[in-house]
Chains A and B, each alone.
Chain A
Amino acid sequence: MESAIDHVRVAQILEMLLSLSKGRFDCRIPLSGEDDDLEAVVVTLNLMAEEMNQTLAYYSHLRAPEGVTESINLLVFLDMDFRVKSMNIEASRLFEYRGTEAAAISFSQYIATNGQQLWKSITKSLLHSDSYEAKHQLPLLLPSGLVKDTHFTIYTRKEYAAGLFEIVLCSYETKLTSVMLEDEVRQAAAKKVSSPKSTEKASPFLSTQDLHILQSAHDYILQNLSSDLPSLRELAHICGTNENKLKYGFKQLFGQTIFRFQKNERLVRASMYLRNTEMDIKTISRTCGFKSFSHFSRVFKEKYGYCPTQLRGGKRMRG
């Protein structure tokens, strides 16, 4: 019996690997609740897919910042008994739904076990509300046995005069246009025409080694928030690169300059201490690397819209 269970789990792992090899990083293998080597492989694969999903989206932004498009991908119409009336082609493909079944399928069949309770509470709200509209993350159960977490907007469409009552589920996804070479070329050409005034240095595509170096600079800053940053030249030397690459690469990868990143992180940390500790504000300012209290207070207000003292006075969380 145990080997039969393992067989199913191995099949799911293979399915997941196939899915990854096709460039689909949004599926996950449902956890079995076992605590064995196979489950360890499953967990690692799921974590890896999550990381790849984010990293590849990030690459896409890096390569074509204006070329990321969002489009509706899944569109499902249900009757008021939560049975499928119809769905768009992409959803039909995903669920292998042919729309020819004699009896309409209950949508709950497409929801993974860990989403059933949420779906139940949504259906309850749908029934009791005259005009329901809400966003939910639902884990969908695919025919392959994998699970795909999907953000849906769910709303009721009620047209009493026409006697039309239905529930619409709609999700969107970000399309990675960087995978389409033609798009990239077109966007580069369009950018050249539309922004001739841009004086920023063209950022070359970052190599894997560059990414590691920039990540180490990022970590170095976080680990030394309370002290002054060395000069760019010194920091570049510490991280094993040159000043130019560090300066432009960091901005390209993290979307802000090194010094702005350090300031923001210092402020985030200060806010954390202010809200959750008894440390006095001057100590917090010093601990987070600010040279003077007045400077800290000013930049804090610029970022959050109120002074550190106001946060202490009125917004502190319960102890």
Chain B
Amino acid sequence: MKTNYFESPYSKLWVQEGVLHFIYKPIPLLDLSIAREVVSGRLQFQRGISYPVLCDTRGIVRTAKDARDYLAHEGSLMARAVAIIDDRRVAVVMQQFYLSKNRPEVPTRVFSDKAEALEFLRDYLG
């Protein structure tokens, strides 16, 4: 069951079966100010509770370097694990580049299949 559905200009988020679902809306260029707003909105939504996070990045077209660097640091705050969902060839390459350069502070993996992503997050349910 979905609980606490919340929508911001850049994302939709809700909690379902203990997993925080975070969906990026279409964003032509994810820059630093948007990245800050997105993280801030997520933290406010979580109200101090850590979740395994299912992060659907298919709406992002391009990212600015400073936004990537910021998300590498602050993007996984209050997340127990992150499963990124993206089935675009280009995005998978970008995510792999991002993950190889920045070592996220919580277990993070990229999936093209939502069921597999949820399976991965199951180990991190509270």
Q: A35-B88, A40-B93, A43-B90 are in contact. Are A317 and B103 (CB under 8 A)?
A: no
**Interface residues of A toward B: which range?**
20 to 34
**Smallest CB gap from B62: residue in A:** A31
Closest 7 pairs between A and B when the two form their complex, measured CB to CB: A276-B43, A40-B93, A279-B48, A276-B40, A39-B90, A278-B47, A50-B65
Asked if A219 is at the interface (CB within 8 A of a chain B CB), the reply is yes
A277 touches B62 (CB 8 A): no
Give 27 CB contacts A-B under 8 Å: A35-B88, A35-B89, A35-B90, A39-B89, A40-B89, A40-B90, A43-B90, A44-B93, A47-B94, A50-B65, A51-B65, A51-B101, A219-B103, A222-B105, A269-B74, A269-B77, A272-B43, A273-B43, A273-B77, A276-B44, A277-B44, A277-B78, A278-B47, A279-B48, A317-B40, A317-B44, A319-B44
Measured CA separation A31–B43 after assembly (Å): 33
**Smallest CB gap from B97: residue in A:** A47
Q: A276-B44, A278-B47 are in contact. Are A223 and B93 (CB under 8 A)?
A: no
Asked if B112 is at the interface (CB within 8 A of a chain A CB), the reply is no
Q: Give the Cβ gap from A24 to chain B, nearest Cβ, in Å.
A: 17
Residues of B within 8 A of A (CB): 39-40, 43-44, 46-48, 62, 65, 73-74, 77-78, 88-90, 92-94, 97, 101, 103, 105
Asked if A73 is at the interface (CB within 8 A of a chain B CB), the reply is no
Measured CA separation A278–B49 after assembly (Å): 10
Measured CA separation A47–B101 after assembly (Å): 11
A43 touches B74 (CB 8 A): no
Q: Please, which residues of chain B bring their CB within 8 A of the CB of A272?
A: 39-40, 43, 74, 77
Secondary structure at the A interface, as helix, strand, loop or mixed, is helix
Interface string of A214-238 (1 = CB under 8 A from B): 0000010011000000000000000
**Smallest CB gap from B94: residue in A:** A43
Q: Give the Cβ gap from B66 to chain A, nearest Cβ, in Å.
A: 10
A277 touches B48 (CB 8 A): yes
Interface members, chain A 253-274 (any B CB < 8 Å): 269, 272-273
Q: Please, which residues of chain B bring their CB within 8 A of the CB of A44?
A: 93, 97
Asked if A109 is at the interface (CB within 8 A of a chain B CB), the reply is no
A36 touches B78 (CB 8 A): no
Asked if A157 is at the interface (CB within 8 A of a chain B CB), the reply is no
Measured CA separation A263–B74 after assembly (Å): 16
Q: Please, which residues of chain B bring their CB within 8 A of the CB of A279?
A: 48
